[in-house]
Chain A
Amino acid sequence: MNKQISISAKHLKKAFGKGESIQVIYSDLNIDIYKGDFTVIMGSSGAGKSTLMYSLSGMDKPDGGEIYFDGVDITKLNNDKLAVFRRKECGFVFQQIYLIDKMNLMDNVITAGVLTSKNREDIKNRAEELFSLVNIPEKTWRKTSAQISGGEAQRAGIVRAVINNPNVLFADEPTGALNSANSAAVLDVFTSLHDKGQSIVMVTHDKKSALRGNRIIYIKDGKIFGECDLGKFEQDNMERTEKLDKFIKEMGW
């Protein structure tokens, strides 16, 4: 079956710093992201995983190259158009969660929801459905991030990320700040969303997280160093685990 391309990046260039202290992240990187895939980007620290993900999502501008998101070159968009693009097409989950301080979970979600929907009641109803999906009980909806656990906060962060039905959900080390129990719960949410057809791009260096994806991309020396098709996630599927282990070993992990 031919997969439909969601994002296509061509000849991407990105560097930090200037002059002698310049650090080239990638100089000619090409990558396609497919609809319905749970793409996991792996690589060693400083390989440019997050930089690539943020470029693909219009959060950061590459120094050169093109990024076609559903056929539109987002590198040509100005800041305001990029903001409108992100609110319609992307959802973001961060390692540090970044719920808005002192704002309750429901309002955090509504703050994102109002950007694409005119009806507040609709947003609320959808938020309630999503809160149920990620197992956040009603009594917690009016709590602030300081009053709940990291796992609950991250699941609320996922609700905020998907409230506008994004084409692609981007996640940057979503379990990096969580303990194993909370991590598993968060990853279950990602799997559940993926099962419902949500395209996901996740950056991680955690093997358990990577196992949730069906396509693993390994970045090294500013290039796509390798790629692995793990197939659909199944709990306790040793074959997938071994395949991933073998892949990342080959990549020099």
Chain B
Amino acid sequence: MKSGIMILRIMKKLSTLILHNLNKAKGQYISFGVFICLTAFIINIALVLAFQTFDAYDDLFDKLDTADINFIIPQIQDNDNLLTEVEEINGVSFVEKHGGVFTPVTVREFAGSDFDMNTVFYNIDEERKLNLLDVTEQAGKSGDSAYIPMYMKKLGGFTEGGSITYSIDGKDHTYHIGGTVLEMQYGNYGTGLIGGYFPKAVYEEFAGKYSNNAVKEYSIKTTENADLSEMKNIISEMIKGKGIALLSINDRAASKQTRTMVCTLLIVIFLAIAAIILVVSIFLSNFRIRSGVEDELAQMGVLKAIGYTSNMIIAGAVMPYVFVGIIATVIGIAVSYAVLPFVAGILAIQSGFSYTPVFDIMAMLIVVLTLTLAILLFSYISAGKIHRLEPINAIRGVVGEESVGQNILLFIVAFCIMVLLSFAGTLLYNVNIKSDNFMNTLSEELPSVIFTAEDEKMAELKKILQKDNRVQLFMEYASVPVSYTDGSLTAFVCEDFSKVTNDICYEGSSPAKDNEIAVGNALADDYPIGKEIEITVGSQSQNYIVTGYIQSVNNAGAVCQLTSKGYEKIGEKTESVNVYLYDKNADAFIKEYEENYDTVVKSSVNFEQMSENGQMMYTGIVSVIVIILFVISVLMVLLVMYVIINSMISRRRQEFGIYKAIGYTNRQLTVKTAFEFIPATAVASVISAIAGFWYLPAIDNVIFSLIGAVKNQFEVSVWILIIFAVMFTAVAFGISVLLSAPIKKITAYSLLKD
């Protein structure tokens, strides 16, 4: 209390000095404020997302009484004893069974194309205590209604009142969309399964048609401290021990990670950007304070002479930055709330659930305190020189030591900005120009077309493809569900993994023999290379030797690779062929094959279109990030150059006056001044561009490993870096010319007056 009153008293004493300092360099403080405002804006978005998205997810999860573990088995293998046994597992507090139909489907016109996904169809009218469905009914129930999950509405572009066509085994079923279902069990494509919902009558008709695919879903609520992973193992063992096929098992933690993946990415990127801007702001204030001390050395000396202590003078220099910083932080936080609903809307596309961000006092306190303390600390350090100033030396203009020069500041800022630009450029290049790199990082094979053919027709189809000169490559490749001791896996089955176009193996190698397997990153800890793993399909099991690890973002790492021959030891021969075309013309290609070879081709998928759709989910987000980075970079160059040039002009008024007196024109002086900034900017750009080959893959690796993409396939384009370095230097030069205009106002006479 006492110290608070003392601080207030000191502030009152210093108010004239602080206001004077604020007033005399308004432009400098405004530019500093803009930086801090931007930093606060970005950090607050990141923190609110971090604090609220995951909580909103959990709240919705609890509100809808979502089960902690769900597993699905064929209905035909279900029995009452199993329910009792599951209920008796230690840590299980409640179990509920739901009926369903589990089948791979192709959704027609999903964002303009076909979209394949494993779907479990449910009766929406079935009474539930767990996995409740929050249904938004728009068009009412009717004889042909279907209800779609939020993810399909947000990304697939389906709307209530419209229609949706599910294609199962080549047969189309079209339904009228009765409404949207918000559920927390599946959510998005990344969880490997998605829900489909029908009213009772429609469901019963549908289930009757696909009675072979009827499943029972066990939804389990656990006690508070239950170990979900261990429980999954126990359940898997139990199911396996009974010879029952485990079609799917998922838990709360894995679903949450998958559905909040982009949010995590955004938070990391935003915090990284904010850190860079904060570093630039701190260097900027450091430069301003240090050059301020030098410019006003005599005045500092006078203040000391009339009795100001060093700390009082430092407070006079630092407090304007703190005040401006606090105001700018509050403005930045306020503005961030205008943008947060938009950001949350973008995230809903990927997460499959939406929420409205609300004011977060904790986020605000963290942003305000962090930025204020950072400003206070670093500006105090910058002004520390004042401590060492002897009043008489200051009055006589003896500085005592060299200051941080404008070129060093410019170098640091240019380097930081180039890091941002290079990152943005690399994102842009790999997502929009060489988009395969991005998709390869996030997915598996990316063929143009997938054909399926009966076993006996496969050889014929391959012969036809062999002769087609539009076909670059084809191979038997399929994704099939298998299971292992701890749960289900998606197996990528290929006749020859040396032919794949996207090598997702990040350690060891893909299987080459029929007794080999590569497993996903989720299994890497439990199955070292060389160890055996038992894989089951239905009632058939086989041991395989682990040869390597593969990455998978979409299935949370629960995947494996098997050779076709290896898989055929436990499962039926797969029917899919991946076809890679030279040109992007999959539509015409499929049409031609469906017309000319309808007896050979059983079904076809335009994968080219599908991957473009998948990409669509990310390109929007990446574009927003890239635009933000560009705007921030230009703004930073503008503000930093403003501060540097302004300070330089005021310091070198006499020199410019002399140049004018001896006959230099305004244009000559402006260009000469602007050229002085070229070396630092150009050298920083070049060094940053060269260093980019090292730090960009490192940054990308860190970011993508957060979402499970261990093997990041981004390329760093030398051309992008060169173009950005040149562009940045040119923009900095242009801005320097514009900002050097006040030199015109300096007259030779004003030199004499000074």
The answer on a CB contact under 8 Å between B299 and A100 is: yes
The answer on a CB contact under 8 Å between B395 and A94 is: yes
The answer on a CB contact under 8 Å between B309 and A96 is: no
Known contacts A54-B392, A98-B395; A160 and B306 CB within 8 A of each other: yes
Of B12, B13, B307, most buried by chain A (CB within 10 Å of CB) is B307
Chain A residues with CB under 8 Å of B312's CB are: 83
**Secondary structure class of chain A's binding surface, majority of residues:** mixed
* CB contact between A111 and one of B9, B17, B296, B309 (< 8 Å): that residue: B17
Chain B residues with CB under 8 Å of A96's CB are: 298
Chain B residues with CB under 8 Å of A90's CB are: 305, 307
A82 to chain B, nearest CB (A): 9
Of A86, A96, A110, most buried by chain B (CB within 10 Å of CB) is A86
Known contacts A107-B16, A115-B306; A98 and B298 CB within 8 A of each other: yes
Known contacts A83-B308, A86-B306, A98-B302; A110 and B16 CB within 8 A of each other: yes
* B residues 293-337 touching A (CB-CB < 8 Å): 296, 298-299, 301-312
B304 to chain A, nearest CB (A): 6
Closest to B24 in A: A102
Chain A residues with CB under 8 Å of B395's CB are: 94, 98
Closest to A100 in B: B299
Closest to A111 in B: B16
The answer on a CB contact under 8 Å between A79 and B16 is: no
How many of B's residues come within 8 Å of A, CB to CB? 29
Chain B residues with CB under 8 Å of A98's CB are: 298-299, 301-302, 395
User: Is B391 on the interface with A (CB-CB < 8 A)?
Assistant: yes
Chain B residues with CB under 8 Å of A91's CB are: 306
The answer on a CB contact under 8 Å between B305 and A86 is: yes
Chain B residues with CB under 8 Å of A111's CB are: 16-17, 20, 303, 306
User: Is B23 on the interface with A (CB-CB < 8 A)?
Assistant: yes
Closest to A89 in B: B307
The answer on a CB contact under 8 Å between A107 and B20 is: yes
The answer on a CB contact under 8 Å between A79 and B20 is: no
User: Is A47 on the interface with B (CB-CB < 8 A)?
Assistant: no
The answer on a CB contact under 8 Å between B392 and A59 is: yes
The answer on a CB contact under 8 Å between A94 and B308 is: no
The answer on a CB contact under 8 Å between A115 and B296 is: no
* B residues 372-410 touching A (CB-CB < 8 Å): 387, 390-392, 395
Chain B residues with CB under 8 Å of A60's CB are: 390-392
The answer on a CB contact under 8 Å between A100 and B306 is: no
User: Is A101 on the interface with B (CB-CB < 8 A)?
Assistant: yes
Closest to B301 in A: A98
Chain A residues with CB under 8 Å of B24's CB are: 101-103
Known contacts A60-B392, A98-B299; A92 and B20 CB within 8 A of each other: no
The answer on a CB contact under 8 Å between B299 and A101 is: yes
Considering the chains assembled together, what is the distance between the CA atoms of A92 and B305 in angstroms? 7
Of B16, B299, B303, B312, most buried by chain A (CB within 10 Å of CB) is B16
Chain A residues with CB under 8 Å of B298's CB are: 96, 98
The answer on a CB contact under 8 Å between B296 and A94 is: no
The answer on a CB contact under 8 Å between B309 and A83 is: yes
Of B299, B302, B305, B387, most buried by chain A (CB within 10 Å of CB) is B305
Chain B residues with CB under 8 Å of A84's CB are: 307, 309
Chain B residues with CB under 8 Å of A85's CB are: 307
* CB contact between A112 and one of B12, B20, B307 (< 8 Å): that residue: B307
User: Is A205 on the interface with B (CB-CB < 8 A)?
Assistant: no
Chain B residues with CB under 8 Å of A212's CB are: none
* CB contact between B305 and one of A59, A102, A110, A114 (< 8 Å): that residue: A59
* A residues 179-207 touching B (CB-CB < 8 Å): none
* A residues 126-179 touching B (CB-CB < 8 Å): 160-161, 164
Chain B residues with CB under 8 Å of A79's CB are: 309-310, 387
Known contacts A59-B392, A111-B16; A83 and B307 CB within 8 A of each other: yes
User: Is A87 on the interface with B (CB-CB < 8 A)?
Assistant: yes
Chain A residues with CB under 8 Å of B309's CB are: 79-80, 83-84
* CB contact between B16 and one of A92, A114, A116, A160 (< 8 Å): that residue: A114
Considering the chains assembled together, what is the distance between the CA atoms of A84 and B387 in angstroms? 15
Known contacts A100-B20, A107-B16, A107-B20; A115 and B302 CB within 8 A of each other: no
The answer on a CB contact under 8 Å between B310 and A80 is: yes
A107 to chain B, nearest CB (A): 5
User: Is A88 on the interface with B (CB-CB < 8 A)?
Assistant: yes
The proximity string for B residues 1-36 relative to A, scoring 1 for CB distances below 8 Å and 0 otherwise, is 000000001001110110010011000000000000
The proximity string for A residues 30-69 relative to B, scoring 1 for CB distances below 8 Å and 0 otherwise, is 0000000000000000000000001000011100000000
7 contacts between A and B (CB under 8 A): A54-B392, A61-B390, A90-B305, A90-B307, A92-B302, A100-B299, A114-B16
The interface of chain B, by Cβ under 8 A from chain A, is: 9, 12-14, 16-17, 20, 23-24, 296, 298-299, 301-312, 387, 390-392, 395
The interface of chain A, by Cβ under 8 A from chain B, is: 54, 59-61, 79-80, 83-88, 90-92, 94, 96, 98, 100-103, 107, 110-112, 114-116, 118, 160-161, 164
